[in-house]
Amino acid sequence: MNTDPPLLFALDLTGTFAFGLNGALTALRATRLDVVGVVTLGMLTALGGGVIRDVLIGALPPATFLYWPYFALAVGGALIALLLNPWLDRLGMSLTVFDAIGLSVFAVMGASKALAFGLGMAPAVLLGVITAVGGGTIRDALCGQVPTVLRSELYAIPALAAAVLTVVAIELDVYGLPAGLAAAAVCFVIRMLGVKYRLNAPRPPGSPPDPN
């Protein structure tokens, strides 16, 4: 059994499902993968960040391999994307929305789990960001793209904000589902505003202009 409070565990599973959808949709729209490839990319997107986190903190075997709902929802999200892709397109369901949901939830859960395993505040924030961006980085690399975290629309910064808020809430002993949702909401809003208004982290001096 997972030892997280049930509602926080459900939040973690929500992120897994959202990233499974996002990874599979990315595969469908950016590559020529077959069905196996699409589902595999969805699973890697959904599970990659959590596996990286668990390996780094020594939580072995990773939660993905201990608790079947993670695996099931990653596969389920990928299959839903595969089957309902045209319908999602007609609804205007953006890849970015699912990506932002997964990013937000995983930043919160990654930071909280790192603290639970005895890491300090700064390492816990770092692990929150790694958990959030890890799956998307694997997704982009396998699609032959520069990872989003390295190039555009405030990707790591929203995750950093959520991880910091989570760590502060835990240290103040006010962490729970409301605090977790609030931290995730901050990440989601910043991420979506970055996409809407094309906001990016500052570039180094002398960098070439963004072609977009």
Q: pLDDT averaged over consecutive 10-residue blocks of the chain (212 residues)?
A: 69 93 88 87 95 94 92 94 81 77 95 94 97 94 85 84 97 93 96 85 62 52
Closest CA to 30 of 134, 141, 132, 133: 141
The answer to whether 130 and 111 have CB atoms below 8 angstroms apart is no
Angle, nearest 10°, between helix axes 177-196 and 6-30?
20
Q: Which amino acid is at 123?
A: P
Q: Within a 10 A sphere around the Cβ of 17, how many other Cβ atoms?
A: 26
Q: Please, which residues have CB within 8 angstroms of residue 129's CB and are 6 or more apart in sequence?
A: 107, 110, 156, 159, 160, 163
The per-residue pLDDT for 149 is 81
Report the pLDDT value the prediction gives residue 51, as an integer from 0 to 100.
96
Contact assessment for residue 45 and residue 19, using Cβ atoms and an 8 Å cutoff: yes
Cα–Cα dist 67/12, whole Å: 12
The secondary structure of residue 152, as a DSSP letter, is S
d(CA 202, CA 182): 26
The pLDDT score that the predictor gives to residue 1 is 47
Structure tokens at 128: 């929150």
Please provide residue 36's backbone torsions phi and psi, each rounded to the nearest 5 degrees.
-60, -45
Is residue 210 classed as helix, strand or coil in its secondary structure? coil
Burial of 91 (0-12, 13-18, 19+ CB in 10 A): exposed
- Determine the pLDDT at residue 207: 60
Evaluate whether 120 touches 142 at the Cβ level (below 8 Å).
no
Residues 6 or more apart from 50 whose CB is under 8 A from it?
A: 16, 62, 63, 64, 70, 106, 110, 131, 134, 135
